[in-house]
Amino acid sequence: MEHGPSDTFVADPALVELPVGDVAAGGGCVGRAPDGRVAFVRYAAPGERVRARVTEERAHFLRADAVEILDASSGRVVPACPHAGPGRCGGCDWQHLDLALQRRLKAQLVATQLGRVAGIDRHLVVEELPGAPDGLGWRTRVRFAVAPDGRIGLRRHRSHGIEPAADCPLAVASLRAAATVLPRWKGAREVEITALGADSVPLIAVSTLSGANRRPTTVPALPVELAGAGLVVDGRSLAGPGHVVAEVRHRRFRVSYGSFWQVHVAAPLTLIDAVIAALEPREDERVVDLYAGVGLFAGFLAEAVGARGSVLAIEQDRRAASDARANLADLANVVVRSRRVDAALVARELEGADLVVLDPPRQGAGVATMEALCALDAPPRRVAYVACDPASFARDARVLLEAGWQLGTLRAFDLFPMTEHVELVAAFERPAPPGQRVHLPASHLPAYE
């Protein structure tokens, strides 16, 4: 990929030359192709003029990759990873942008979603997390694809193609070390490596082409460098522990293969502090932690409300719920239940709760669940909503705001440097009296709900 004007240029029907403007959801910059169609251009920066290779063509828009930069942005940098760029690894959208510009663009994307969908007008600063000042060395989990010859690599963008690469500079040191000495595994489909700290023992999980119903005929021996590492094949633990252990302040959390844990090494502590600040828990209060995972928030909230308070942790995944029970066994004021979070559960379990934590997956809690929360006769005094997708968060937030809830603090965190993704933590306070409620105009209603 060239980063400056070229003296010669051979015409190519798959190439278009165009200026690009702001970023859109998905990470690409928006431009207009010579034929008038909107173009979403990856590997570009706002304000640049580029030559881009068309990768997808639709009736009303194009997708393209910038392959030559004619007029470069001052925020453009050389990617730290040799596998980043057009046609290469699809994991990083923004390695070509400096971190300050990345965070400004993320704030802009979030503000646009919140304003369009929920009518929220907030100035946001995307906060840097500690431990990764250059945007590298923060990932605690990487999923590699496996080529037919057994070598690991990373998926290319919107493709089943594999970029041969055993090293990801976004990963923590122990994960990078494990990946570079991993033996070839013919017959494997994917290898996921988890290491929750720079020096932690990794957990290696392999999915084979034969699937969980048939054990692979050969299991390569792990090298001496991975002595003590856990090995899980098609969901079965074959060596070492089938979990990793994270230490957050004074608490230890078992995280089994398949259980959710934040991918940024500094995210757990950062989010705990943000949620505690959003809720301001008091002694004796009753807390309900929805989508509780392995009990990260529940553990610290149980300590905050004291022995006379209580925490109900709800987690649908039975594996994660089992981890949560083990992780919170020392806290007599915590109950963990493996249940699906839906409107019926909210109506049954949240009545009379003082505080609620919502940390749903990317699709959000959903309108029906939020409406059930709004319909409670005795609503909680505060709700902390932790979101990894601004669009689904905005949709859910709109339901609360329409019902008279007040949006308090709203913070954004750079949990995913080198990508467009961002994490939000919002505090909502129980509805004001009916006469003080503000109704949003219908023009802000999202089209997809």
Do 240 and 271 have their domain in common? no
pLDDT digits (tens, 9 = 90+) for 321-346: 999 999 999 999 999 999 999 999 99
Catalytic residue among 89, 92, 168, 388: 388
Q: Does 215 have pLDDT greater than 70?
A: no
Which residues 6+ apart lie within 8 Å of 114 measured at CB?
120, 121, 122, 390, 393, 394, 397
Q: Based on C-alpha coordinates, what's the Rg of the chain?
A: 24
User: What's the CA gap between 413 and 114, in Å, rounded?
Assistant: 16
Do 372 and 406 have their domain in common? yes
Do 220 and 294 have their domain in common? no
Q: How many domains does the chain have?
A: 3
Average pLDDT of the residues in 90-98: 94
* 201 domain residue, yes or no: yes
* 259 domain residue, yes or no: no
Contact 89, 163 (CB under 8 A): yes
Do 240 and 270 have their domain in common? no
Q: What's the one-letter identity of residue 96?
A: H
Do 225 and 285 have their domain in common? no
Domain containing 61 — which CATH number?
2.40.50.140
Average pLDDT of the residues in 404-411: 97
- Per the DSSP assignment, residues forming a β-bridge with 57 are 62
Q: What would the DSSP string read from start to end of 397-421?
A: HHHHHHTT-EEEEEEEE-SSTTSS-
Do 229 and 337 have their domain in common? no
Known catalytic residue at 388: yes
pLDDT digits (tens, 9 = 90+) for 148-204: 999 999 999 888 899 999 999 999 999 999 999 999 988 899 999 999 987 888 999
Domain that holds residue 37: 1-76
Which residues 6+ apart lie within 8 Å of 332 measured at CB?
307
Give Cα 73 to chain centroid, integer Å: 27
pLDDT digits (tens, 9 = 90+) for 228-238: 999 999 999 99
